[in-house]
A = this chain, B = another copy of it.
Amino acid sequence: MVTAVSTDTAAEAAGAAYAPTERTVPSRARERAHYDRETVHSILDAAYLCHLGFVRDGAPVVLPTLYARVGERLYLHGSTGSRPMLAAGRPDPGLPVCVTVTHVDGLVLAKSAFHHSINYRSVVAHGTAYQVTDEAEARMALDALVDAVVAGRSADSRPANAKELAATAVIRLDLEQVSAKIRTGGVNDEPEDLALPHWSGVVPVARTYGTPEPSEGQDPAVALPDYLTEL
């Protein structure tokens, strides 16, 4: 039985970097690529929505879906009837996937159209996804998926019952062929453009949370939990 704990290897504990491979070295802007675990994990842990890519009938498919990182694995879930879950459920060879996570941090507005850019942090993970068949690992992953959206939430909700568990497929991807890419900082204007009359600079972009809206008819005695007021 494979469990998430078994992926906490000595290499990971030591914070060793992911080995760059032909697949994870970008064809351009290589100075923006990062392979150290700390950077990759921090980008992954700051989000909960990824874009899952797989191949169907020879063509690419990209779907938004939730994920959670546990140690050196990503977990994703879906209906047992969904296409990628079915494909990943084949015992051999699993489902080749690409999982990409992107944060937009700023709009980089240069004097020239050409030097316009985005400040961002992204992680791209390649590999083969397999369905999780061990119930304990699946339950752990489902908790992690809820906690990835709101830390502390899994302990404050009813766990899946047998019927719900049977309707949910969980897949996992080992973090092996992984890289981060980061663009940060200011504008790279050309020296000869500096005198142009166009405003140049960076507009910060952030994700913000609004006031939580309780479900209609909810018992008013149910207080807003601390983990939501701290979002």
Contact = CB atoms under 8 A, between A and B. Distances in A.
Interface of A: 23, 27-28, 49, 51-55, 58-64, 66, 78-79, 81-83, 96-100, 102, 104, 107, 109-114, 116, 118, 120, 122, 124, 126, 142-143, 146, 149-150, 153-154, 156-161, 164, 168, 186-187, 189, 193-219, 222-225, 228, 231
Counting chain B CB atoms within 10 Å of each CB, the highest count among A114, A208, A210 belongs to A114
Contacts of A195: 219
Given A111-B158, A199-B212, 6 more contacts: A55-B60, A113-B157, A116-B153, A199-B214, A201-B215, A206-B209
B193 A111 contact: no
Given A109-B157, A215-B200, A224-B199, A116 B60 contact: no
A205 to B, nearest CB: 6
A198 B114 CA distance: 51
A222 B193 CA distance: 13
A52 B228 CA distance: 33
A79 B114 CA distance: 11
Given A96-B60, A114-B168, A200-B218, A207 B207 contact: yes
A61 B211 contact: no
A113 B158 contact: yes
B53 A198 contact: no
Nearest to A128: B59
B150 A107 contact: yes
A199 B211 contact: no
